Amino acid sequence: MGKILFVSDRTEKIQQYSAFFDKKTFEFDSSYDEAAILGIIDINCPDVIIFDSTFSGTKNLIKKLKSITGSTAFILLVKDGSIEPDIIKYINAFLTEEMSENLILSIISANLKTKSALEQLSDTNKNLADSLYRLNVLYSTSSQFAGSLDKQKLVNYMIEGMDKSLSFDLTCTLAFCTEEQPVLILNSLYEISDELLSAIKLRTVLNYKSLFEDKKTPFEIDTESLKVIKNVKYPANRFTFTLFQYDNMFAPISLGDNFFGCIEIFKETPFSSDDATCFQTIAQQVSLPLKSATLYQEIKETNLKLEKLERLKSEFISIVSHELRTPLTAIKNSLDILSSGKCGEINEAGSKFLNMAQRNVQRLAGIINDLLDLSKIEAGKMDYHFANMNIHSVIDYVKSSLSGVAKEKGLNLIAEETADLPEIYADSQRLEQVLTNLVSNAIKFTPEGKTITIRSHIADASQINAHECFKEDLKKLSGKYIVVCVEDQGIGIAEKDLLRAFDKFAQIENSLSRKVGGSGLGLPIAKQLLEAHNGAIWCDSELEKGSRFYFAVPVSTILSEICRV
């Protein structure tokens, strides 16, 4: 029914209340000695304490006990209903000696109910505070998970989160962190003896194996080779227990077929079902970031391998091209001597074959030079000589050096006159290389009798209009540019191949590409050279009608010059 403590030194009252409360099946105690009262409160925790107001020192005793008891109800027994005003704030109710038994009973019952409601409320509040705290821990742990791709750190965050929310005495985490080397991470309050360590190792290995039953385990582990990392909070103390004395929880850390490890935690006091939910949640939450970390690791390794391969490929191209260039120069010189007639007359058929050999040597030399250029650019070893210059000089040079070839093919190569254009800060030799490639391509892919036109103008980046597929590339342009355009009336390029024309070794399938040959490197080299100028290259074209290749180089400003220094 409830526990009553009656504080009084009046024997007849004690007997009267004892008889009354016993009859009503209350647990009844009485005392007037302060030390004994404290003892009863400590051991028996009464629900209600009734103070006899005639007892001397009641007021001070009530005040004192109020501060050490929780929700116990304090009731004052007065003779006739008159109460010292000072005492009212410390008591929950009062009884008078004339009150009927029923009234007394109802007052006591009401106070018991209030006490139990208060206790429930305080329990609920405590549970709520606990849940809120755990939610906070889960939230901050999952934020830490989201911010890391390092397996070792993720495992540490998991253990930290469990420590904060469950406060364990010992965790044993088997994790596959670095290069899939299994590690047993022990986090404990106290020092672990060698015997305990052997027991933990054995238990962990058995736990691990039990997860796979008759299936093959992902990794072979034995107690001898298991690497152990120990983190001890209070190394001065030592555990004096066997694992069986502690409550424990165990969870695998895995996602689908991916197994990252397992965790077991031990605590002296029993875990609650909320603890189990929290434990499982954290162990599950860490699996996804661990999977991402594994994938990230794999991608990083693959990238490293690819970078290495790319480097080897560039080195290989560079070495082979150098090696080819020396004998090719010797062949070219010999052919030149032969065709000069210095070694004797050559008949008509002979000079035809000699011509063919010279043309092919020329072509081979072009391919080797392209390969060398590309490997230099990719290795960041290309030399640039930037200076203020006018684009007209580049156009004039290319036009005069290629008009002979164009004429031979029955093509008309013209450069449209433009008003004076502002200077650009560029490497004239590299721009000549770019324009030579564009005009050579135009010559290669344009049939006899047609015209190839070189134009140049100044444009603001915002005015440059290119095909959709080059938009991303041109986004980086800003300010004023000199734009050069090479227009031909040749075979054109299909819309789907426009971007591909700038890929390394790309030769777009058409009736001419095989016949005219080429390295497929001219446009990618041009693209990289223009990138080194903070410029861009793009094209538009229509099949059977012709193509327009454009490149843009920024107009010289103090800033562009400073940036290149």
Give the footprint of ligand ADP on this chain (CB under 6 A).
437, 441-442, 445, 488, 490-491, 493, 501, 506-508, 513, 518-523, 547
Instruction: Name the residue number minimizing CB distance to ligand ADP.
Output: 518
State how far the Cα of 363 lies from the Cα of 359, in Å rounded to an integer: 6
487: nearest Cα among 540, 562, 418? 540
State how far the Cα of 482 lies from the Cα of 480, in Å rounded to an integer: 7
Nearer to ligand ADP, 205 or 501 (CB): 501
Contact 483, 459 (CB under 8 A): yes
The SS3 call for residue 149 is: coil
Nearer to ligand ADP, 162 or 442 (CB): 442
Specify the DSSP element, H or E, that contains 255: strand 247-255
294: nearest Cα among 257, 267, 263? 257
Min separation Cβ 400 and ligand ADP, Å:
20
Nearer to ligand ADP, 278 or 501 (CB): 501
Q: What are the CA-CA distances from residue 500 to residues 433, 503, 558 (Å)?
A: 20, 5, 35
Contact 456, 393 (CB under 8 A): no
Min separation Cβ 467 and ligand ADP, Å:
14
Min separation Cβ 295 and ligand ADP, Å:
36
Min separation Cβ 332 and ligand ADP, Å:
20
Nearer to ligand ADP, 150 or 503 (CB): 503
**What angle (nearest 5°) sits at the alpha carbon of residue 85, between those of residues 79 and 91?**
75
Min separation Cβ 443 and ligand ADP, Å:
9
Contact 530, 382 (CB under 8 A): no
Min separation Cβ 520 and ligand ADP, Å:
4
- Token pair of 486 as six digits: 């090479």
State how far the Cα of 286 lies from the Cα of 293, in Å rounded to an integer: 10
Nearer to ligand ADP, 2 or 518 (CB): 518
Nearer to ligand ADP, 53 or 547 (CB): 547
Beta carbons within 10 angstroms of residue 470's beta carbon:
19
Torsion region of 298: left, alpha or beta (phi above 0 gives left; psi -120 to 50 gives alpha): alpha
Torsion region of 115: left, alpha or beta (phi above 0 gives left; psi -120 to 50 gives alpha): alpha
State how far the Cα of 49 lies from the Cα of 5, in Å rounded to an integer: 5
Min separation Cβ 513 and ligand ADP, Å:
5
Nearer to ligand ADP, 216 or 496 (CB): 496
Determine how β-strand 387-389 pairs with β-strand 247-255: unpaired
End-to-end alpha carbon distance in the chain = 94
Min separation Cβ 450 and ligand ADP, Å:
11
Min separation Cβ 431 and ligand ADP, Å:
16
77: nearest Cα among 61, 62, 97? 97
Nearer to ligand ADP, 433 or 547 (CB): 547
Nearer to ligand ADP, 77 or 483 (CB): 483
Nearer to ligand ADP, 30 or 437 (CB): 437
Nearer to ligand ADP, 490 or 554 (CB): 490
State how far the Cα of 564 lies from the Cα of 387, in Å rounded to an integer: 10
Min separation Cβ 139 and ligand ADP, Å:
55
Nearer to ligand ADP, 145 or 549 (CB): 549
Nearer to ligand ADP, 144 or 519 (CB): 519
Min separation Cβ 463 and ligand ADP, Å:
24
Min separation Cβ 494 and ligand ADP, Å:
10
Phi, psi of 45, rounded to the nearest 5 degrees: 45, 70
Min separation Cβ 497 and ligand ADP, Å:
8
Beta-bridge partner residues of 259: 254
State how far the Cα of 373 lies from the Cα of 325, in Å rounded to an integer: 13
Min separation Cβ 370 and ligand ADP, Å:
7
Nearer to ligand ADP, 282 or 521 (CB): 521
State how far the Cα of 229 lies from the Cα of 155, in Å rounded to an integer: 12
Single-letter amino acid code for the residue at 92 = N
Q: Alpha helix locations (H) across 240-347?
A: 273-285, 287-340
State how far the Cα of 425 lies from the Cα of 404, in Å rounded to an integer: 30
State how far the Cα of 33 lies from the Cα of 25, in Å rounded to an integer: 25
Min separation Cβ 288 and ligand ADP, Å:
45
Contact 516, 405 (CB under 8 A): no
Beta carbons within 10 angstroms of residue 396's beta carbon:
13
CA quadruple 426, 431, 432, 438: dihedral, nearest 10: -160
State how far the Cα of 147 lies from the Cα of 149, in Å rounded to an integer: 7
Nearer to ligand ADP, 71 or 513 (CB): 513
